[in-house]
Amino acid sequence: MGCASSVADRNSGRTASLNPDNGGAVDPKNLKVKLVLLGDSGVGKSCIVLRFVRGQFDPTSKVTVGASFLSQTIALQDSTTVKFEIWDTAGQERYAALAPLYYRGAAVAVVVYDITSPESFAKAQYWVKELQKHGSPDIVMALVGNKADLHEKREVTTQDGIDCAEKNGMFFIETSAKTADNINQLFEEIAKRLPRPSAA
């Protein structure tokens, strides 16, 4: 824990749509970042967000329509705060064409798959490619294998996840929104990897 290394001073491209208005001035102690969740339907994107933002888990799955918007602020040990403005996108095919609307200008992309579903892992790789092609060049990407509590049904090995993440320069973690395992760690790790504006 502690200070994250400064990777880049650039502010991720904010020319595009659906970006919060930061009012120009960027306070290095109080960051505000746009985060988008992508992944196949039913992998638990909304559950991850609701666990992180509200500390809740609802086992009755509610299909997301379009995209939901939530925000949550966390404090890091170096006394900086990071406010995540989260776009939780719908995984259904009909919304795929709209994804750029939500990931354009995002500083962070969290690509989620379900460890019990190889199809969702393939879909995650599709999103990674899509983001590499069309996302901000300095976007922070995380690969998340969710439903880690269902280990007896696991079909995607942890190593596969690690390999895929390494190949694409992503941060990798396995989570369980149900048990809350690694959910806060996911967002804390992301926060540490964010490019910091220079304190000059």
Length of the chain: 200
Greatest alpha-carbon pair distance for the chain in Å reads 51
Q: What is the distance between the alpha carbons of residues 182 and 180, in angstroms, rounded to a whole number?
A: 6
Strand partners, 86: 35, 70
Distances (CA, A) of 80 to 32, 77, 107: 11, 7, 17
Closest distance of CB 67 from other proteins, Å: 6
The smaller minimum CB distance to other proteins, of residues 10 and 54, is found at: 54
The smaller minimum CB distance to other proteins, of residues 42 and 162, is found at: 42
| 3-state secondary structure at position 38 | strand
Closest distance of CB 194 from other proteins, Å: 21
The smaller minimum CB distance to other proteins, of residues 95 and 171, is found at: 95
Closest distance of CB 46 from other proteins, Å: 7
Q: Which residues contact 68 (CB under 8 A, 6 or more apart)?
A: 46, 49, 87, 88
The smaller minimum CB distance to other proteins, of residues 21 and 199, is found at: 21
Closest distance of CB 116 from other proteins, Å: 9
Binding site for other proteins (CB under 8 A): 16-21, 41-42, 46, 50, 59-70, 88, 90, 92-95, 98, 101
| 3-state secondary structure at position 189 | helix
